[in-house]
Amino acid sequence: MKFFIDTANLDQIRDAQELGVLDGVTTNPSLMAKEGITGRNNILKHYVDICNIVDGDVSAEVIATDLKGMIKEGEELAELHDQIVVKVPMIRDGVKALKYFSDKGIRTNCTLVFSPGQALLAAKAGATYVSPFIGRLDDISTDGLNLIAEIRLIYDNYGYQTQILAASIRHTMHIIDCAKLGADVMTGPLSAIEGLLKHPLTDIGLAKFLEDYKKGN
């Protein structure tokens, strides 16, 4: 399972990279705004800064919602760095853009996916990644994890190569559950990744080992 961090915060990206388990980064316009990154040039520079920290794919989202605009922005983003993956929303022109980019060998991440049908369309259009937002489904009393299971089944039925990128991960158990269901990638906050580290028996066991070592030395 690949681990992506879902943030535009450079310190958190560095922390995750130093942990040695990071495979990539996802961002979105809200995450950029949260870090105070505004204006096209600053946003483009920030993507390059992220690419220079992480070894792996960095999703950069288009803002346009029409085909021509998405193609123009996506090609500009893809030119920035070979780690860039163009993030395209699951809308009518987005599907056309996914197909266009796929035919040109530009990698894509289809975002804002909330149903198996949308995921099927993304795969048929040749998306590299599909991003089902499980946390946002949970927020409206719908089973986000079930969507991961449904997409896994559909993709396996036909051998689609599109990777399932479980997004909108909110906590550590989401990561475990997505791993059990066979998601190819998860993207979440650093806190959810660090939660995987924790077990009280590890802490108790280590304290005892060190205590016993000290007795004999």
How far, in whole angstroms, is CA 92 from its chain's centroid?
Answer: 22
Annotate 128-163 with DSSP letters as a single string.
SEEEEBHHHHHHTT--HHHHHHHHHHHHHHHT---E
Instruction: Tell me whether residue 94 or residue 207 sits nearer to ligand E4P (CB atom).
Output: 94
Nearest approach in angstroms of CB 7 to ligand E4P is 9
Q: DSSP per residue over 21-72, as a string?
A: ---EEE--HHHHHHTT--SHHHHHHHHHHHHHH-SSEEEEE----SHHHHHH
The token pair at 9 is 């915060």
Phi, psi of 185 (to 5 degrees): -145, 150
CB of 136 vs ligand E4P, minimal distance in Å: 5
Least CB distance to ligand E4P at residue 49 (A): 18
Q: How far apart are CA 88 and CA 111, in angstroms?
A: 6
Question: Between residue 164 and residue 193, which ones bind ligand E4P under the rule CB under 6 A?
Answer: 167-168, 187
Which is closer to ligand E4P, CB of 11 or CB of 103?
11
Q: Could you give the string, one character per residue 1-30, with x where binding to ligand E4P holds by CB under 6 A and - elsewhere?
A: -----x-------------------x-x--
In this structure, the dihedral spanned by the alpha carbons of residues 195, 12, 137 and 29, taken in order and rounded to 10 degrees, is: 180
CB of 216 to ligand E4P, least distance (A): 49
Q: Residue 120 or 130: which CB sits closer to ligand E4P?
A: 130
Residues 6+ apart with CB under 8 A from 192: 169, 170, 171, 172, 174, 175
> How many CB atoms are located within 10 Å of the residue 70 CB?
24
Q: Is 198 designated active site?
A: no
- Interactions with ligand E4P, residue window 69-128 (CB under 6 A): 111
Instruction: Candidates 12-20, 39-47, 63-71, 129-137: pick the segment binding ligand E4P (CB under 6 A).
Output: 129-137
Binding-site size for ligand E4P (CB under 6 A) equals 11
Is there binding between residue 57 and ligand E4P (CB under 6 A)? Answer: no
CA–CA dist 116, 171 (Å, integer): 23
Among 135, 149, 171, 195, binds ligand E4P (CB under 6 A): 135
Q: Which is nearer to ligand E4P, 34 or 68 (CB)?
A: 34
Q: Which residues are catalytic?
A: 87
Residues of this chain that interact with ligand E4P (CB under 6 A) are 6, 26, 28, 111, 131, 133, 135-136, 167-168, 187
